Amino acid sequence: MARRVLIAGASGTVGFQALQLAKQRGIWTRTLSQRRWRAAKVSLFADDLWMRDATDADSIRGICNRVDVVLSCMGGSLALQDEDKRAFSKVDFEANLNLLREAQEAEVGRFVYLSVCANGRHENTAYVRAHRRFERALRESGLRYTIVRIPGSYASFHPLVEMARGGRIPLIGSGNARMNPIHPRDAARVCLDNLFQGPEVVEAGGPEVLTRREIAEQIFQHVGESPNLYRIPGFILRLTGSLTRPFNARRANLLEYLPAASTVDVLAPQVGQLSLADYLQELTVGGALESEQAA
């Protein structure tokens, strides 16, 4: 009997890659996503399409019925310009918790969750705390599960590509902090490989360890501009975030997260195969850019 999988966050960068890969593997898929303007591309691959806001528990009643595995790549965007003002605790934690309760009610066999690697003070940010809260809930749920943690995906650098085209990219701190972000397709492959069985936690990074400065320089090279970097002290962003919090909780969370994530090493086992240069080349060939978005 064919396995049936629910992919939440299917219109996001990793979720959509997971949906395409599931189709290639002959897996029946139901999808959950909120962004209606992206529904057309999801409908090309999904067997059953749900357009709902998972922060509203009533709207997703029954979504896990007759599903064997849930894969959640669902979460808030890391783009400062995103229109959603809700805090990460609302989307990354509460929406996933509502989905988990539906999975428990339907007695789903497994739950695979795309999470984030973190280190040091990076761990103590609203963005990472929301992921860790859900990880704890998943561990306590009684379901079999795998948590896939990544240091970040190449898609999160979309704003830097636009900045490079404009002539300048900011560096938060010295620019010497290292990370090995992963291609969305590689992250999706790790999730799919652990759908039906796998360890409780898998950490997966890309094949290259790069400093923040090296990432910016590669992006300048991609757009054909000479590197033009300027430094922004992290405390400026944090202060701006504190002033922004009453009006835009998401942006405040991001202005706390960006300095923390940009000034510590965030590394994971190098399991990805595709490089940052591969991803940037795909942007040129595809003629379209998408910021990291999982909701």
CATH code of the domain in which 20 resides: 3.40.50.720
Residue 293: inside a domain: no
- Look at 5-19, 165-179, 198-212, 279-293 and tell me which has the smallest mean pLDDT: 279-293
* Dihedral of alpha carbons 60, 61, 65, 71, sign: positive
**Does 200 or 120 have the greater pLDDT score?**
200
Overall average pLDDT of the 240-257 stretch? 81
Residue 295: inside a domain: no
Overall average pLDDT of the 24-41 stretch? 87
Residue 250: inside a domain: yes
Strand ranges of the sheet holding 201-203, from the earlier edge strand across to the other edge: 48-51, 28-33, 4-8, 69-72, 110-116, 144-150, 201-203
State residue 291's pLDDT score: 44
Cβ atoms within 10 Å, residue 5: 26
Task: Give the span between the Cα atoms of 292 and 17, in whole angstroms.
Answer: 12
| Residue 2 binned pLDDT confidence (cut-offs 50, 70, 90) | low
Residue 292 pLDDT exceeds 70: no
Residue 212: inside a domain: yes
In the chain, the number of structural domains is 1
Residue 58: inside a domain: yes
State residue 45's pLDDT score: 95
For the chain, give the percent of residues with pLDDT over 70: 94
State residue 40's pLDDT score: 81
**Does 1 or 247 have the greater pLDDT score?**
247
Tens digits of residue pLDDT in 160-211: 998 999 999 989 989 999 999 999 999 999 999 999 999 999 999 999 999 9
According to DSSP, the residues that pair with 270 across neighbouring strands are: 205
State residue 1's pLDDT score: 47
* Phi, psi at 229, each rounded to 5°: -110, 140
Beta strands in the chain (DSSP E): 4-8, 28-33, 48-51, 69-72, 110-116, 144-150, 169-172, 178-179, 201-203, 210-211, 229-232
How are beta strands 69-72 and 4-8 bridged, if at all?
parallel
Task: Give the span between the Cα atoms of 203 and 220, in whole angstroms.
Answer: 29
Residue 155: inside a domain: yes
Overall average pLDDT of the 122-134 stretch? 94
What 3-state class would DSSP assign to 60? Answer: helix
Largest distance between two CA atoms of the chain: 57
Average pLDDT score, the chain:
90
| Residue 245 binned pLDDT confidence (cut-offs 50, 70, 90) | confident
| Residue 37 binned pLDDT confidence (cut-offs 50, 70, 90) | low
Angle separating helix axes 96-105 and 126-139, nearest 10 degrees: 10
| Residue 293 binned pLDDT confidence (cut-offs 50, 70, 90) | very low
Task: Please tell me the pTM assigned to this model.
Answer: 0.93
Q: 201 lies in which domain range? A: 4-286
Residue 23: inside a domain: yes
Tens digits of residue pLDDT in 219-236: 999 999 898 998 887 777
Residue 173: inside a domain: yes
Residue 54 pLDDT exceeds 90: yes
Task: Give the span between the Cα atoms of 195 and 189, in whole angstroms.
Answer: 10
| Residue 121 binned pLDDT confidence (cut-offs 50, 70, 90) | confident
Residue 294 pLDDT exceeds 80: no
CB 156 within 8 Å of CB 78: yes
Q: By 3-state DSSP, what share of the chain in percent is helix, strand and coil, each rounded to 5?
A: 45, 20, 35
Task: Give the span between the Cα atoms of 24 and 9, in whole angstroms.
Answer: 19
